[in-house]
Structure 1
Amino acid sequence: MSKKVPSKEEQDLFREAVQDVRPLQAEPRHKPPRRKPSPRPRQRELDEAAVLAEMLCDPVHPEELETGEELLFIRDGLQHKLVKKLRRGELAIEAELDLHGLFREEAREAVVGFLTECRQNRVRCVRIIHGKGHGSQQKRPVLKQCVNHWLQQRDEVLAFCSARPVDGGTGAIYLLLKRG
């Protein structure tokens, strides 16, 4: 079957018949699909808020403060070889947080923000400088015990220990975090 080509007369007749026709300006029959919001880790946010609240209501008493003793925390199941490397300062420090001059609440917020940023950037080994307390009113390491307490509550913390003297000694810690 071949297509029939309209004659010149038929084409003119068609153009005359549709010359006043204009497209309709109607609303579309269906709305475009709405973009779904990006997923938020709501449960993790709730968990972190609960930990923050717990950290605030668990005061550190002066008699619990250490004075120059080393800190050491290791989660069950962590390889001894890895802990040994951490304690010797043999793991590359990928990020650092210095808490000098901060009050307890400011330091807590800084630690939480730092850990969140480390997790987002897949950082594995960091150093946190909490100080030796020489600048505090009691001349004691106030933030040291706080940091010790806060970090043990965080699931992403695998281990931490006091740093080597060259990296701050008992005024700083090396911290090993879970990957991703």
Structure 2
Amino acid sequence: MKPKTSLNPEELELFAQAIGSVKPLSQDKVNLKQPSPAQKSKQRQRLTFEKQQFHFSDEFEPQLPSSGPMKYVRQDADSFEAKLLRRGEYTPELILDLHGLKQQESKQEIAALLASCVKQHIKCACIIHGIGNQVLKTKVPHWLVQHPSVVAFHQAPLEWGGMGALLVLIDLPDDPFSK
């Protein structure tokens, strides 16, 4: 039978002096209470709420600029917001990279990103869609226009991805500075 420790008796004595007088635990297992049916119901409701995500339509065709940088400002917002995004006045706190994702996965990730921004009170996010075959580059702006939390978006400055990315400005419900 192997000893429990590889320490020699001198080291064991030194250890015992260092820790002083301690009482070993008689029982080190914790019996957790089972959640009540009401708690289980609340948890289930919370999980279902988190799973509900915004549904983007692929059929919707907004009127976006066909030339120049991709930009959009919601009707009830100040058009100067797009200029501030272009200048890099807003720094994105979350970045979503869609490289390698299919359209359906991209829609889910964008919806999750926007929900996260609202939940965490993040005003600006960056969505990197890439250039590639131009599929996501054309679809992402169409999806963003449909979401009620999106105030504005603009093609990102070079430092955040340039033509392959968008900076998105999020409407925060409790933000005293938003319109």
Match in the other structure for 1:71: 70
Structure of larger gyration radius:
1
Residue 121 of structure 2 is aligned to residue 141 of structure 1: no
Residue 118 of structure 2 is aligned to residue 125 of structure 1: no
Answer whether contact 2:73 2:81 (CA < 8 A) is retained: no
Offset at residue 59 of structure 1 (A): 9.0
How is 1:145-164 mapped onto 2 (pairs within 5 angstroms)?
145-164=138-157
Q: Deviations over 1:125-153 (max 9, x none)?
A: 111000011xxxxxx21101110111010
Structure 1 CA distance, aligned partners of 2:81 and 2:105?
31
Per the normalisation by structure 2, the TM-score is 0.62
Answer whether contact 1:151 1:157 (CA < 8 A) is retained: yes
Structure 2 CA distance, aligned partners of 1:149 and 1:81?
21
Aligned to 1:171, which of 146, 164, 167?
164
Aligned length: 133
Q: Which amino acid aligns with 2:88?
A: G
Name structure 1 gaps, 5 residues minimum: 1-33, 61-65, 134-139
Structure 1 CA distance, aligned partners of 2:70 and 2:131?
12
Q: Deviations over 1:68-124 (max 9, x none)?
A: 952111101322433321111111211110001111111111111111111110110
Match in the other structure for 2:94: 95
Distance 1:120 1:148, change over 3 A: same
Distance 1:117 1:105, change over 3 A: same
Name structure 2 gaps, 5 residues minimum: 1-37, 174-179
Answer whether contact 1:67 1:141 (CA < 8 A) is retained: no
- Name the SS of the counterpart of 1:131 in structure 2: coil
Structure 1 CA distance, aligned partners of 2:129 and 2:114?
15
Structure 2 CA distance, aligned partners of 1:67 and 1:101?
25
Q: Which amino acid aligns with 1:116?
A: A
Answer whether contact 1:93 1:126 (CA < 8 A) is retained: yes
Per the normalisation by structure 1, the TM-score is 0.61
Structure 2 CA distance, aligned partners of 1:95 and 1:45?
20
Structure 1 CA distance, aligned partners of 2:60 and 2:149?
23
Q: Which amino acid aligns with 2:150?
A: V
